[in-house]
């Protein structure tokens, strides 16, 4: 009999409420069914957090790439985790690295990187990049392909 890799998931397939904070958000994972190294990419083009000084919303286009180890992040739980930043006040750098480090701690991937392409605050776009180290050999890792902010024109 084949093992159900989705057994034990609490959020997938059911009604859920957006967590009030990233700390409250529950990430879930499933066993990686593959025995080869490959890249998983999540793109969140409408990520939102709050400026810790003004309380005004900040917007970013996030790209999270990882090469799984034993675990895959369940995508609905990731969506809820990222959505929980809507009410979270932190600087761009803190939000970006916090997301990546939480995923690394939870999944123990072979490799992970985040590209956080923030829209301008005070007229200056801030892009934040972080990764766990050198990418594994033999895995195709495409460029993130997000152009730098150019404004109008």
Examine the residue annotation and report whether 51 is marked as an active-site residue of this protein: yes
Taking only the tens place, the pLDDT of each residue in 28-50 is 999 999 999 999 999 999 999 99
Taking only the tens place, the pLDDT of each residue in 40-98 is 999 999 999 999 999 999 999 999 999 999 999 999 999 999 999 999 999 999 999 99
| Candidates 3.40.50.20, 3.30.40.230, 3.30.1130.10, 3.40.190.10; CATH matching 31-131 | 3.30.1130.10
Q: Is the pLDDT of residue 139 over 50?
A: yes
Burial class of residue 114, CB neighbours in 10 A (0-12, 13-18, 19+): buried
Residue showing tokens 């969506």 = 79
Domain boundaries, the chain: 31-131
What residues does 131 pair with on adjacent strands?
113
136-to-12, 35, 83, 105 alpha-carbon distances in Å? 30, 14, 30, 18
- pLDDT category at 147 given cuts 50, 70, 90 is confident
Tell me what pLDDT residue 107 has: 98
List of residues 6+ apart from 77 with CB closer than 8 A: 9, 11, 12, 25, 26, 27, 28
List of residues 6+ apart from 144 with CB closer than 8 A: 63, 65, 115
Q: How many CB atoms lie within 10 A of CB 102?
A: 15
Q: Do β-strands 111-118 and 127-131 pair in parallel, antiparallel, or remain unpaired?
A: antiparallel
Counted residue by residue, the chain has a size of 153
Tell me what pLDDT residue 18 has: 81
Examine the residue annotation and report whether 127 is marked as an active-site residue of this protein: no
Burial class of residue 74, CB neighbours in 10 A (0-12, 13-18, 19+): buried
Q: Mean pLDDT for the chain?
A: 90
Alpha helices in the chain (DSSP H): 75-83, 92-107
Among candidate residues 35, 51, 70, 127, the one labeled active-site is 51
Among candidate residues 35, 58, 65, 127, the one labeled active-site is 58
């Amino acid at each position: 009999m084949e093992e159900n890799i989705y057994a034990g998931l609490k959020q997938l397939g059911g009604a859920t409420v957006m967590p009030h904070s990233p700390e409250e958000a529950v990430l879930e994972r499933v066993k990686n069914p593959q025995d080869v190294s490959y890249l998983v990419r999540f793109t969140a083009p409408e990520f939102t957090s709050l400026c810790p000084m003004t309380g005004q919303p900040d917007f970013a286009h996030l790209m999270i790439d990882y090469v799984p180890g034993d675990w895959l992040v369940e995508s609905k739980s990731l969506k809820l985790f990222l959505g929980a930043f809507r009410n979270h006040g932190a600087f761009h750098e803190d939000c970006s690295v916090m997301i990546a480090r939480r995923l690394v701690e939870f999944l123990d991937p072979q490799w992970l990187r985040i590209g956080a392409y923030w829209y301008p605050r005070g007229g200056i776009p801030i892009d934040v990049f972080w990764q766990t180290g050198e990418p594994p050999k033999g895995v195709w890792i495409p460029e993130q392909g997000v152009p730098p902010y150019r404004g109008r024109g």
